[in-house]
């Protein structure tokens, strides 16, 4: 279902309504277009190592661009909650592109994209590939085999850009403008990366971040074999892996790319401000800290990629019952038999701020760990060598009835199933609980005995006996793999991809991978790389969810428990084994001597040209009588001097920000008056976490609205490692908007400048 954790609230009512709406309005379309490592490698300085051979020089380009899209009136992608509709912006969303290339054979290259999106997507990837093909022969080296599109899995970004019907339902369909913003921004980040390719050294190191995640389904984790569990200290992957990119010409660091497993659910389902969640915070802090530091190149970019995220939570204090304050039931995360009141608590849950400060804290912890790794890499890091081995493969595999030998037990032949979701999927998680009688006990939930859900399921699509047997013990709630009316509801055709740069292997996984699933998968790749590729010390990481949203993958043992993650494993108990088998099968294509690509497989359906949309556009904007756009309606207390920790607000006559996404620009600015002049300099904008843009529709028919800018003046906690410290002085808030005229629909830019106020830093 629309990713993600929980609140599938009244899904059948929505689905049945959609079916009726489809029949009534079929022609109303939206148009479109981990981390395993070895310490046996020799330790050496990664900077200015004059004895280093040329095989450690790769061509690397890194680029970043804005993919924010509509910040209001569009339901967020993640919690599948139609009430979580955007009302403003806390932090812009970005695509960060990392290109690694064999300097002697430029066609041997790959692009790894870290996007502040809930997941990679089939239609978005298709749009990016088409865009690259239209950019000329210089970009012909990039194609389906070497383009990897990962999402950081933020649950606080606008939806309506996805390929399949099911994740479109909460957002009322597909929005062409939202899709275009994502595709165009990704293409721009790739273009910037391509144009900045330069000889670069890569180094790799890791450090455990223990308090950055917890396992939200420990009961499922305990179903894994005890002998296997004893090999690991924790029930989540605590390792943060970091790749550093140092420009060969001057040893300046142009970027970092990290992998760490933690859900983008620090911000709860009642948050309606767009943000990159905790990984967006981590990237923001590292990029901000690099400014003014001579070790970093101008335009330094930090990518914080997702990894084995499936059963992790950033709400590190654990789940509690809201009414009693007691622990939730361990087996199924219920309180008095219901999931609704069982919520995970972040580090600052007492702030009652929709998880905002907890989100910053989990991002801050990732940043601090990445910084600690960076600071010690000159003496401890592993140099990535063998630039002749830059390779990638990508294939599509239909998981509906795929039969294969088990990679874990070759004597067994296994089969995957057509996509289906279980009852525990609707039970949600402790990050976002479900409602009604659904729980995270998918084999014995009260919902499994409720005839209403059985009737509703069968009206939509009754599962066959073969499907029921294939998915066992999952109790099927939504049998979606075979649904193609009015177009495909979910993915049966799945991306299989691995990237290689020397000893570094990146598993590009489509589903949200549980902790133990990720461990098994990475170990299998490492063992096979040693065996058939001759890599003595493979460095294996996993990036997910990528390329298309395939919901979850758990181990077979976890699947048997049928908590949320098992109920959301689309293709049955053998899903993990299928992914592992396929990546191992195609691993020989990553040999340095390989000049071939595997057969691409069956191309998935692209639904952008036939996707339904019930999202209304902006009709028009009007200011109140006697006012004009940008006029100040209220401002800060003029008699007060503001200090760190205070929040300053100014409210303006506004207009709908959907008129102009202001990509690569800003809606907001904090400006400081240059002493003894009439000039003002920008010191904060949409990039900054503590500057918030809120939009509120006042009179829908007339089209009046208000915009409030809020700046929380950073104290030491929020100013961590910011080399450009806040100065005392005179400040003001500056609003940039665009209005849509009645009748003509003309879009006109305007500005609003708030009254000045004093700040004592």
Six-digit token string for 52: 């280093």
Q: Is 565 annotated as a binding residue?
A: no
Contact 38, 537 (CB under 8 A): yes
Q: Which residues of 536-547 are buried (b: 16+ CB within 10 A; e: fewer)?
A: eebbbbbbbbbb
Instruction: Name 403's bridge partners.
Output: 415
3-state secondary structure of 680: strand
Q: What is the DSSP string of 313-343?
A: ES-BTEEEETTT-SBPPTTT--BTTBSTTEE
Residue 87 exposure: Cα atoms within 13 Å on the Cβ side: 14
Q: What is the DSSP string of 460-506?
A: H-PPPHHHHHHHTT--EEE--TT--SSS--S-SEEEEEEEEETTEEE
CA geometry: angle 474, 476, 482, nearest 5 deg:
120
Signed CA dihedral, 481, 484, 485, 486: sign only: positive
**What's the distance, CA 704 to chain centroid?**
34
Nearest to 740 by CA among 708, 704, 707: 704
Residues marked active site are found at 313
Signed CA dihedral, 420, 416, 229, 370: sign only: negative
Nearest to 614 by CA among 171, 202, 201, 226: 171
Signed CA dihedral, 479, 482, 488, 493: sign only: positive
Give φ, ψ of 128 to 5 degrees.
-65, -45
Residue 14: burial class (beta carbons within 10 Å; 0-12, 13-18, 19+): middle
3-state secondary structure of 89: strand
How far apart CA 536 and CA 504 sit, in angstroms, is 11
Q: Is 394 annotated as a binding residue?
A: no
Signed CA dihedral, 346, 352, 357, 359: sign only: positive
Residues 6+ apart with CB under 8 A from 448: 423, 442, 475
With helix as H, strand as E and coil as C, how does 252-264 read? CEEEEEEEECCCE
Q: Is 512 annotated as a binding residue?
A: yes
Residues of the binding site: 153, 263, 512, 552
Residues of the binding site for Zn(2+): 153, 263, 512, 552
């Amino acid at each position: 279902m629309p990713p993600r954790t929980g609140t599938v609230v009244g899904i059948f009512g929505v689905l049945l309504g959609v079916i009726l709406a489809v029949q009534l309005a079929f022609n109303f379309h939206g148009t479109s277009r981990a981390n395993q490592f070895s310490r046996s490698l020799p330790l050496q300085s990664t900077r200015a190592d004059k004895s280093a051979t040329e095989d450690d020089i790769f061509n690397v380009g890194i680029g970043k661009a804005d993919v924010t899209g509509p910040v209001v009136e569009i339901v967020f992608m993640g919690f599948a909650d139609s009430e979580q509709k955007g009302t403003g912006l806390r932090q812009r969303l970005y695509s960060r592109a990392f290109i690694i290339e064999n300097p002697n054979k430029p066609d041997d290259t790959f692009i790894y994209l870290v996007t502040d999106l809930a997941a990679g997507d089939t239609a978005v990837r298709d749009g990016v590939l088409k865009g690259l093909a239209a950019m000329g022969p210089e970009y012909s080296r990039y194609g389906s085999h070497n383009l990897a599109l990962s999402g950081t899995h933020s649950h606080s970004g606008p939806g309506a850009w996805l390929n399949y019907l099911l994740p479109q339902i909460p957002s009322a369909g597909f929005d062409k403008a939202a899709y275009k913003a994502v595709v165009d921004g990704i293409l721009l980040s790739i273009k910037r990366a391509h144009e900045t390719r330069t000889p670069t050294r890569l180094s790799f190191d890791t450090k455990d971040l223990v308090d950055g995640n917890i396992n939200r389904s420990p009961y499922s984790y305990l179903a894994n074999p005890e002998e296997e569990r004893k090999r690991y200290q924790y029930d989540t992957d605590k390792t943060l892996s970091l790749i550093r990119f140092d420009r060969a010409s001057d040893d300046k660091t142009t970027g970092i790319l990290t992998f760490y497993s933690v859900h983008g659910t620090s911000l709860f389902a009642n948050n309606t401000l767009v943000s990159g969640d905790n990984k967006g915070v981590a990237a923001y802090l590292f990029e901000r800290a690099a400014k003014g530091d001579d070790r970093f190149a101008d335009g330094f970019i930090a990518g914080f990629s997702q990894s084995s995220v499936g059963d992790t939570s950033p709400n590190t204090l654990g789940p509690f019952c809201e009414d009693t304050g007691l622990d939730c039931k361990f087996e199924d995360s219920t309180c008095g038999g219901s999931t609704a009141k069982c919520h995970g608590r972040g580090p600052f849950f007492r702030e009652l701020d929709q998880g905002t400060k907890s989100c910053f804290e989990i991002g801050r912890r990732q940043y601090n760990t990445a910084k600690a790794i960076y600071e010690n890499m000159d003496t401890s890091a592993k140099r990535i060598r063998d630039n002749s081995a830059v390779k990638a493969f990508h294939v599509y595999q239909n998981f509906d009835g795929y039969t294969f030998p088990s990679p874990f037990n070759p004597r067994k032949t296994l089969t995957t199933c057509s996509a289906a979701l279980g009852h525990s999927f609707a039970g949600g998680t402790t990050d976002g609980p479900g409602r009604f009688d659904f729980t995270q006990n998918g084999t014995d939930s009260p919902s499994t005995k409720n005839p209403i859900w059985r009737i509703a399921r069968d009206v939509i699509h009754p599962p066959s006996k073969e499907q029921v047997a294939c998915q066992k013990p999952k109790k099927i709630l939504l049998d979606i793999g075979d649904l193609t009316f009015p177009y495909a509801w979910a993915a049966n055709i799945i991306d299989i991809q691995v990237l290689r740069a020397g000893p570094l292997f990146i598993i590009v996984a489509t589903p949200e991978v549980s902790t133990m699933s990720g461990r098994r998968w990475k170990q299998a790749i490492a063992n096979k790389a040693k065996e058939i590729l001759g890599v003595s010390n493979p460095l294996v990481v996993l990036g997910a969810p990528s390329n298309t949203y395939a919901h979850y993958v758990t181990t077979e043992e976890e699947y048997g428990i049928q908590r949320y993650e098992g109920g959301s494993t689309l293709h049955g108990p053998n899903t993990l084994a299928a992914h592992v088998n396929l990546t191992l099968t195609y691993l020989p294509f990553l040999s340095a001597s390989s000049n071939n690509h595997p057969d691409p497989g069956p191309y998935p359906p692209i639904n952008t040209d036939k996707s339904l949309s019930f999202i209304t556009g902006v009709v028009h904007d009007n200011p109140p009588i006697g006012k004009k756009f940008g006029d100040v309606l209220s401002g800060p207390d003029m008699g007060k001097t503001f200090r760190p920790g205070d929040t300053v607000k100014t409210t303006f006559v506004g207009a709908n920000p959907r008129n102009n996404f202001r990509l690569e620009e800003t809606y907001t600015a904090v400006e400081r008056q240059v002493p003894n002049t009439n000039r003002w300099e920008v010191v904060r904008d949409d990039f900054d976490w503590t500057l918030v843009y809120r939009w509120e529709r006042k009179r829908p028919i007339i089209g009046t609205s208000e915009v409030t800018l809020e700046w929380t003046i950073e104290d030491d906690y929020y100013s961590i490692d910011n080399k450009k410290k806040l100065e005392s002085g005179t400040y003001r808030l500056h609003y940039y908007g665009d209005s849509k005229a009645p009748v003509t629909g003309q879009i006109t830019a305007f500005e609003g400048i708030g009254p000045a106020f004093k700040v004592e830093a």
